[in-house]
Amino acid sequence: MTGLDQVYLSDRGKVRQHNEDAIGVFQNKSGILAIVADGMGGHLAGEVASQMAISIFKKLWEEEPVIKGPSDAESWLTEKVIEVNKAVYEHSLSHPECQGMGTTIVTVLATSTYATIGHIGDSRCYLLNDSGFNQVTQDHSLVNELVKSGQISKEDAEHHPRKNVLIRALGTEQTVELDVSTIEMEDQDLLLLCSDGLSDKVSDDVLEKELLTSDNLVQTANYLVQLANDNGGEDNISLIMLKKTAQGLGEESC
């Protein structure tokens, strides 16, 4: 049986007093739902937003939706994000201490043959396969818009003073749009989902090198988090790795 090995890890980092990231990997008859959420909104409010998003998606996935193919997967993610966004937004309105809270989200609905990827914000999904190592998602950030319009270079974006300004997040507005796409999954293909606490501190080249040379995903996950901390660790660091294997379905938290 062909399956997906899973490794996931979330770390507070070296500076933050709280971990406002939240992660979840949930399985049902349709496949695996993996999510990384990076909360924002000040003391504890970001933690509320990210945990709410994960817990609501967990409940929705436990309801065993019928997913017959990529179009069903894309529709399900698109529809359920609307529900999750509404719940987080309404919670922020009714709880003054949570006013303005929100969260990024990157999620993968994965089966043994395809993976449907959705995201809001700047948490990322990367794919390592025979074509190389590529970022599947496009950050919903101010600097990425500046790069896309040619106003600054990709190198300039890495050190831009407004690097962390998002133009889209879950829970901050009444409505939000999920970017969604589907890719085929071949044997040995690997998906990496992560918060910007990892991608800001470990370059794509280093991520590719470590994943290519890895024969132990748990050790690699721990090493990548250590690298992010060694490079400053100013933010929370979260990642999920899903690798298609012929050995069946495995699961590891670090």
Contact yes or no for 70/182 (Cβ under 8 A): yes
Q: What is the mean pLDDT of the chain?
A: 93
* % of residues, the chain, pLDDT over 70: 96
Q: Where do the domains of the chain lie, and which CATH numbers do they carry?
A: 3-253 (3.60.40.10)
Query: What is the reported pLDDT for 49?
Result: 98
Query: What is the reported pLDDT for 178?
Result: 98
| Site of tokens 């319009």 | 149
φ, ψ of residue 218 to 5 degrees: the values are -65, -45
Query: What is the reported pLDDT for 246?
Result: 74
Query: What is the reported pLDDT for 33?
Result: 98
Q: Write out pLDDT tens, residues 7-49.
A: 999 999 999 999 999 999 999 999 999 999 999 987 679 999 9
Q: Write out pLDDT tens, residues 108-140.
A: 999 989 999 999 999 999 999 999 999 999 999
Query: What is the reported pLDDT for 202?
Result: 97
Contact yes or no for 170/107 (Cβ under 8 A): no
Query: Taking the model in full, what pTM does it have?
Result: 0.94
Query: What is the reported pLDDT for 132?
Result: 96
**Residues 6 or more apart whose Cβ sits within 8 Å of residue 53:** 22, 35, 37, 84, 88, 103, 105, 170, 171
* % of residues, the chain, pLDDT over 90: 81
Report residues of the chain scoring pLDDT below 70: 1-2, 43, 247-254
Question: What is the C-alpha separation between 241 and 125, in angstroms, rounded?
Answer: 10
